Structure 1
Amino acid sequence: MSDLKADFVIVGGGSAGCVLANRLSAGGQFSVILVEAGRASRPLMSKVPLGVGRAWSDPRHNWNDHSAPEPGLDGRHLTLTRGRLLGGSGAINAMNFVRGAAADFDAWHSLGLPGWSAEEMARHFRATERTAAGLSSPTRGDSGPIDVTETPVRDGLIEAWMKALQGQGVKRLDDYNADLTAGVGRAQFNIARGRRRDPRVAYLDPACRRKNLRVLGEHHALRITVRDGRAADVLARYRGVLRRIAARREVIVAAGSYGSPHLLQLSGIGPGATLQAAGIPPVMVNDRIGCNLWDHPRVAIEYARCPSYMHRLLRWDRLLIRFAQALVLRSGPATWPLAAAHLFMVSSPARNSPDMQVLLRLFDPTLQPWLLKAPDGDRWGMVVCLVQPESRGHVRTLSDDPAQAPEVVTGILSEESDMARMVATCEALRQAMRVPEMTRWASEELSPGPSVSTKADWRDFMRKTSGTIFHPGGTCAMGEVVDHRLRLRGVAGLRVVDASVMPLPVTGNIHAAVLAVAEKAAGMIRQDAR
């Protein structure tokens, strides 16, 4: 067994881990070791925005776990996409950049968590961003590591869709990240100059030149050792060799909403009944670790369309040329993102902040490259997401063997109120497409189709087709598992910093909020280390 030592040991090289590694190693005051189970290498195609589809389907870069039977979805098992490489899920996600609504963070603050209000979080969001000129405003950042740009796609469907919604009273949002309210606007992404601008590229790669930062890829954390009530070290396995990595100051768990509670439970920190059933000696019992899992359910409404640019692009000769153009010249359709516009809605007039998000998709996501015969059809779709769900799930270790994945139940649509809001929104959107502006685009509904007409039909359709859009959070929630400075209750020298600490959902894609949480956490950690 080989031993290593640093001031801070970060477990998890995803988005939060990359931010922490950069910020804590800055200035050379502290030594930092970043431990990541996935590969340190990066697939070439993941650098190009269109290549994200290839990364998703590659088991070398995606853990490809599955949920246990889902009670709200007729017992179906859901695929749980998670990045299996340095950079984590932030290195293979769809790059949508959505800060969330002010009401989200004010709700955290109202739980008795000082420092987490929207006003106080605004500066941490600004610290992450370098927004494009057209999005520049006093509320946006202009010198952060993450470039944020608006989609360059000019497909006629985008304007037709937004104008149809505007004609029915929906507000046009020039920049939904400046102040997210109900409305529709062109999508924003962490893309710059034809490349994905993710936290590995923006935060970690520049910091790797520092002598006080060491990055350990393919190191699977097995457990955290607690001595005399304090986190002392992390035991990890690297290609069959055990390594003990000691922390002089703190162990920081940043393994994500599934990985962080699983590692804590493997370390004897978690619900007493779960630890006992798995044969793990308890170190500190907290029945809320691994509970409160929230995620955003999604379902698609799809219409037939004339072949899109993507349909034409996927002919093999064109595809290879466009990828070469993207890699060499950083231009062309292979550098374009997958979504085109976002609609934020309230499911009822009683709500004062959006609880629904709809992503406009311009093409059939199941299209495959072709050569001699083009795919028969194409479709565009509205991906409907409930971003303020009431349903909750859990993450529960089943064994003391770290190689065995935990039991994950997302719980999505297990609450009737969530199902009702999804159904009502889908019905409203279907009706909204029956306007003259959309005659050309929405004449033939392919899914769910005309056979789904009643609320009972919609519910059945939801149970059979809904899934997660991969925005899990809440399993190590502030106030229940960690305090407002993200310190684990009951164990000294141990923090959790990732989406798992978010006590309530974020309105929209969670990646931007994860970056802001990590920025704030890095500042608090440095303050506490003085």
Structure 2
Amino acid sequence: MQTYDYIVVGAGSAGAVLANRLSAHAANRVLLLEAGPPGHPWTHVPIGYARMITNPAVNWLYSSEPEPTTNGRRLPVPRGRMLGGSSALNGLAFVRGQAQDFDSWAQMGNPGWSYADVLPFFKRMERYEGGGDDSFRGRDGPLRVTNPRPCDPLYAALIAAAEEVGIPHNPDYNGATQDGIAMSQATIASGRRMSTAACYLAPARRRPNLHIETGALAEALLLEGQRCIGVRYSVGGAVREARAGREVVVSAGSINSPQLLELSGIGQPDRLRALGIETRHALPGVGENLRDHYAPRTRWAVGARGYTFNDLGRGMGLARQALRFALTREGMLGMVGAPMRAFLRSREGLEAPDLLLGWVPMLMEPGPKGPRLSSQSGMTCYAHPMRPESRGHIHITAADPRQPPAIRFNFLSSPVDAELTLRAIRIARRIMAAPSLARLQVAEIAPGADSTADDEILDWVKRTAETTYHPVGTCKMGTDPMAVVDARLRVHGIAGLRVADASIMPTLTSGNTNAPSIMIGEKAADMVLAEAA
């Protein structure tokens, strides 16, 4: 059994950060375990997420259980399975969330997690190359964050249309306030994806005190009494064990982190007993509190030609886009997943936005090898509440780490989520009907202009909506009986063990979750190092 000071399980958005920061101290021997391969050629190209979204070589390809609010459908739940984790195949949008998100975490009994507390870590991690206020933005961190090029006519028309219905343009939604419509800031620089593999692991890989093991599936945590002493994992079918002299940090993500805890006998005793797993530590919150954004994709035809990638990216247009990317690193191949977004308030009197709209300048349709460009020119606009109250759970179904866990989202179980989803869709309709979009000849395809009643729209949501791939909360931070970790991310009741990834979030942040996950990795590293000093 090899011994290290620290073992980090999972090389994703948070785990790669931890591996870098812990190994920056030469005295620390660090083992980083990643179940997937080192990478994939398409991870470097921004549009590569379209080629990896159904690729089992680099994607766990999970799916949810059928539920009434998904009309009995299994929803795809893609998760990155390579160095960089989901940061290596996500849609590249960079959204921190609101100050209120983190202030609420602190108010829930988690000291050290207010916005004032986490802002220094957001600043430390980023090298923001746009404008903005230096009191909010970082300039010399490892993660390059960029603004898009000036708006083309389509995006300019959307900004103007939003302003016509009272939604202002916000040049920096990661600054003082999130309100308004804006082009998406992105983890893209010089036409390349800025994953944590590229920004955190690549600079650290040659350190002699950092050992990165890929193709390493974590099977269980090794426990001695109420202390975690290491990890059992397999590589190519061969079982290995590694010991941690100081700590094990589980950063396997909101699906795999609770899975690993349960496989190790940490969780709900009745559930573990039914699977033949000895309960080593009863912790009822493991796998509970699952939250995600349930987002219907409204669809819009664009009659005017030459505005969307359905016109610009098909046939010879695709060759022209490839040439444009090769020469300028711009265009369809260099595009963030949703190039424009708006953060909105569902009603007057709210302290901060509670709805999100995101626009994609194309229509997609199913194809034999996954989604493909539609022959019809148009746009997609997803619309959803940012802080849903509906909660589900994730639990293992077998004592085999190769068996996927059961994912139950329980979407729309909270009535307020259904109400806010309807409001988001109706605001999207108002924007798309504004005068500035008239010359584009925009017409609603789905849910369809004839769908006006609440029950009609909600029926369409249940039949068609998907997640935005932001699962969080399954090892939540807190002090209540269902909390899994404390405010320093230590697993309640188990020494030498922390969880540091999106699973520790008590509630969803307002927007995409990659940036907050990287922040969690930065803050966790500081906590670990401080306690070792």
TM-score (norm 2): 0.94
The amino acid that maps onto 1:182 is: D
Unaligned runs of 5+ in 1: none
Q: In structure 2, how many angstroms separate the alpha carbons of the residues matched to 1:266 and 1:328?
A: 49
Aligned to 1:454: 453
Quote the residue 1:195 is aligned against. 192
Query: Per the alignment, in what secondary structure is the counterpart of residue 439 of structure 1?
Result: helix
Over 3 Å counting, the alpha-carbon distance change for 1:366 and 1:375 in structure 2 is closer
Deviation at 1:523, TM superposition (A): 0.3
Deviation at 1:482, TM superposition (A): 0.4
- Shift of the alpha carbon at 1:180? 3.3
Write the mapping of 1:348-387 to structure 2, written as runs, cut at 5 A.
348-366=347-365, 376-387=375-386
Q: In the alignment, which residue of structure 1 is the partner of 2:161?
A: 164
- Cα distance in 2, alignment partners of residues 192 and 64 from structure 1: 27
- Residue 339 of structure 1 is matched in structure 2 by 338
1:302 aligns with 2:299: yes
Aligned to 2:5: 7
Matched, 1:484 2:487: yes
Q: Does residue 1:111 correspond to 2:108, yes or no? A: yes
The letter of the residue matching 2:101 is D
**What's the CA shift for 1:202?**
0.1
Secondary structure at 1:506 match in 2: coil
CA-to-partner distance for each residue in 1:69-114, whole Å, 9 max, x for gaps?
2242223211111112111111000100000000000000001111
Specify which of 23, 29, 33 is matched with residue 25 of structure 1: 23
1:53 paired residue number: 50
CA distance in 1, matches of 2:466, 2:136: 34
DSSP 3-state at the match of 1:339 = coil
Matched residue SS, 2:146: strand
Q: Percent identity?
A: 36
In structure 1, the partner of 2:521 is 518
> Is 1:506 the equivalent of 2:509?
yes
Query: Which is worse superposed, 508-517 or 414-423?
Result: 414-423
Query: Which aligned pairs between 1:70-85 and structure 2 lie closer than 5 A?
Result: 70-85=67-82
| 8 Å Cα contact 1:478-1:501 kept in structure 2 | yes
Could you report, residue by residue, the CA deviation over 1:467-506 in whole angstroms, capped at 9, with x for unpaired residues? 1100010110111110100000010000000000011110
Alignment match, 2:92? 95
Partner of 2:442: 443
Deviation readout 1:167-202 (Å, 9 max, x if unpaired): 222122110000233211111001111111111100
Q: Does the aligned pair in 1 maintain the 2:184–2:336 contact within 8 Å?
A: no
> Structure 1 residues 117 and 279, CA, compared in 2 at 3 Å: closer, same or farther?
same
Indicate conservation of the 8 Å contact 1:434/1:442, yes or no. Answer: no
Partner of 1:180 in structure 2? Answer: 177
Following superposition, the deviation at residue 357 of structure 1 comes to 0.8
One-letter code aligned to 1:257: S
Q: Is the 8 A contact 1:64 1:80 kept in 2?
A: yes
- In structure 2, relative to structure 1, the CA distance for the partners of 1:272 and 1:206 (3 Å cut) is same
* CA distance in structure 1 between the partners assigned to 2:307 and 2:19 by the alignment: 41
Give the whole-Å Cα distance in 2 for the aligned partners of 1:437 and 1:311.
Answer: 21
Q: Which ranges of structure 2 fall in alignment gaps of 5 or more residues?
A: none
**Aligned residue in 2 for 1:226:** 223
Query: 2: CA distance between counterparts of 1:138 and 1:528?
Result: 28
2:130–2:147 CA contact under 8 A, matched in 1: no
CA distance in 2, matches of 1:133, 1:154: 15
Q: Hey, what does 2:424 align to over in structure 1? A: 425
Give, in angstroms, the shift of residue 308 of structure 1: 3.9
Range with bigger deviation, 58-67 or 120-129: 58-67
Q: CA separation in 2, counterparts of 1:329 and 1:443?
A: 30
CA offsets, 1:228-267, max 9 Å, x none? 2110111101111001011110010000001000000000
Would you say the 8 A contact 2:13–2:518 is kept in 1?
Answer: yes
The alpha carbon displacement at 1:12 in A equals: 0.6
**Equivalent pair of 1:280/1:400 in contact (CA under 8 Å):** yes
Structure 1: which amino acid aligns with 2:151? R
Q: CA deviation at 1:376?
A: 3.2
* Rounded Cα–Cα distance in structure 1 between residues aligned with 2:180 and 2:190: 28
Classify 1:332/1:344 alpha carbon distance in 2 versus 1 (closer, same or farther; 3 Å). Answer: closer
1:306-321 equivalences under 5 Å are 306-308=305-307, 310-315=309-314, 319=318
Paired position in structure 2 for 1:474: 473
Contact 2:17/2:521, CA 8 A, preserved across alignment: yes
- The structure-2 alpha-carbon separation of the partners of 1:273 and 1:307, relative to structure 1 and needing over 3 Å to count, comes to farther
Conserved 8 A contact 2:6-2:249: yes
Partners of 1:442 and 1:388 lie apart in 2 by 33
Question: What do residues 199-225 of structure 1 show as CA deviations (whole Å, max 9, x unaligned)?
Answer: 110001111010000000011000001
- What's the offset of the Cα at 1:273? 1.8
For 1:244, the equivalent position in structure 2 comes to 241
TM normalised by structure 1 equals 0.95
Larger mean CA deviation between 15-24 and 144-153 belongs to: 144-153
- One-letter amino acid of the structure 2 residue matched with residue 186 of structure 1: M
SS of alignment partner, residue 358 of structure 2: strand
Describe the shift of the 1:33–1:477 C-alpha distance in structure 2 as closer, same or farther (beyond 3 A): same
Farther-moved stretch of structure 1 (272-281 vs 388-397)? 272-281
**Partner residue of 1:271?**
268
CA RMSD of aligned residues (A): 1.9
Distance in 2 (alpha carbons) for counterparts of 1:94 and 1:456: 31
Q: CA deviation at 1:378?
A: 1.6
Report the Cα distance in structure 2 between the residues aligned to 1:177 and 1:286, rounded to whole angstroms: 36
CA distance in 2, matches of 1:466, 1:208: 40
Q: Which 10-residue stretch deviates more, 112-121 or 347-356?
A: 347-356
Q: In the TM superposition, what is the alpha-carbon distance from 1:311 to its structure 2 partner?
A: 2.7
Distance 1:399 1:99 in 2: 36
Shift of 1:303: 1.1
Q: How many residues align?
A: 523
Q: More displaced, 119-128 or 68-77?
A: 68-77
| Secondary structure in 2 matching 1:179 | coil
> What displacement does 1:47 show?
0.4
8 Å CA contact 2:2–2:243 kept in 1: the answer is yes
Counterpart-to-counterpart distance in 2, 1:26 and 1:482: 25
The Cα of 1:431 is off from its aligned counterpart by 2.7
Equivalents in 2 of 1:324, 1:271: separation in Å? Answer: 55
